[in-house]
Amino acid sequence: MALYMVQAAYSQDATAKLVKHPQNRAEAIKPVIEKLGGSLKHVWFALGEWDAIAIVDMPDNASAVAFSIAAGAAGGVRAFKTTPLMTVEEGVQAMKKAGECGYQPPK
């Protein structure tokens, strides 16, 4: 399983519906994520570019992308971004590999 940060900005229509009928969208997306083999870890409302941010645990990239496509196709979001996350340990491992791979910049 791998962690992903999902950022969503609601469409104007979806925002109007949420104002008229407030609802916990985590309850709506949790079963979808679970049907794709994942689990919903946390959801937050946010200020700024993104209206909601979630951390999800998915079995693979294809499942994470499937969720993104389904959310985008439904029309409730105007923007959607999925970012794979790594642990600090995985980041350190990547740094070590980068130092050993022999890459040379252009000369």
Query: What CATH number does residue 89 fall under?
Result: 3.30.70.920
Residue 7: inside a domain: yes
Residue 107: inside a domain: no
Q: Which residue has the tokens 């992903």?
A: 4
Residue 76: inside a domain: yes
Q: What is the pLDDT of residue 67?
A: 95
Interacting residues of 64 by C-beta distance below 8 A, sequence separation 6+: 2, 4, 38, 56, 58, 82, 84
Residue 28: inside a domain: yes
Can you give the residue range of the structural domain that contains 49? 2-100
Residue 75: inside a domain: yes
Number of domains in the chain: 1
Return the SS3 of 40: strand
Instruction: Tell me the per-residue pLDDT of 35-89, one tens digit each, with 9 for 90 and over.
Output: 999 999 999 999 999 999 999 999 999 999 999 999 999 999 999 999 999 999 9
